Chain A
């Protein structure tokens, strides 16, 4: 099994629908992140969390919310999806030691029609 698991892998939805992307990890890492990838823009940080009581906004948090249900689970929600939220979403985790190298999930491709 993958260290960082994202579900769903792919999702097509309609404007105005509520969508949740889920992330779970088996690495025992405290730090979890949600990034969004768009062509020509690279990856941009949406939210990050250092524990269940610590949630922080990234550079593009508008239109998104997150929940850290447990140390191992970090979900991203789009309350009312819009077409410009069509993107590839990545969950990542990091430990406390060393360079805090991020371990990424396989990504969730979301298409909002």
Chain B
């Protein structure tokens, strides 16, 4: 079974600065999807960015980008020009393209605090 590890329980960043959240995963599959979800205090789960494993190019969405290292099984999220509204819990997630169910496997999450 696949596992997802987020080794940073909490991170802090100064407003307007850049922060990187780490995620590693374990799988024997070659094709899969990876996701970052944001959970603000409202509890809503919001998709931030996704990456298809067969694509070598790192995904970007405005101030959010990933560093996808397939061989190292690493999928970090970089947030540039951090804003107060970025403060949230961030979850990394894996989805197999082989297993029945298209289920997401989540990491434990990283709390991001943004200081003004």
Contact = CB atoms under 8 A, between A and B. Distances in A.
Interface in B95-112: 95, 100-104, 106-109
B43 A40 contact: no
A44 interface: yes
Contacts, number: 51
Given A42-B91, A42-B108, A42-B109, A48 B45 contact: no
Interface residues of B, number: 23
Interface stretch (A17-25, A62-70, A77-85, A102-110): A102-110
Given A40-B108, A42-B107, A101-B50, A31 B102 contact: yes
Interface of B: 4, 6, 9, 33, 35, 42-45, 47, 50, 52, 91, 95, 100-104, 106-109
Lowest 3 A-B CB distances belong to which pairs? Answer: A104-B45, A42-B106, A43-B106
